[in-house]
Amino acid sequence: MTEDSAEIPDFSNLTCTNLMIRLKMLVKKAGPDILVECMVRRDQRDTIDVPFSHTGYDVKIRKVDTNRYRVSLKKKPGPNP
């Protein structure tokens, strides 16, 4: 995780539906050991937290500003075959 917020995509201009679509595409493309990060608004943060945490992702959310949050998503390791 980088500390420079300028390098993290800002998705705060997306609707919640478009944000979820974008994030699902990014985490699928990223693979199991890659961290996906973005900046979002407060209402988007609520939209991301529960669905991703209940579907096998580690979700970390840090408040950056009054209405800005940094979201980190990473696929939880599955059982070894």
Delimit the domains of the chain by residue range.
Answer: 5-75
pTM score, two decimals? 0.82
Q: Would you state the torsion angle of the CA atoms of residues 5, 27, 33, 9, taken in this order, to the nearest 10 degrees?
A: -10
Q: Is the pLDDT score of 3 beyond 80? A: no
pLDDT value at residue 65: 92
CB 76, CB 57: distance < 8 Å: yes
- CATH class in words for 5-75: alpha beta
pLDDT value at residue 1: 45
Residue in this structure with the two tokens 């990223």, named with its chain if needed: 30
pLDDT value at residue 54: 85
Residue 81 has a CB neighbour count (10 Å cut-off) of 3
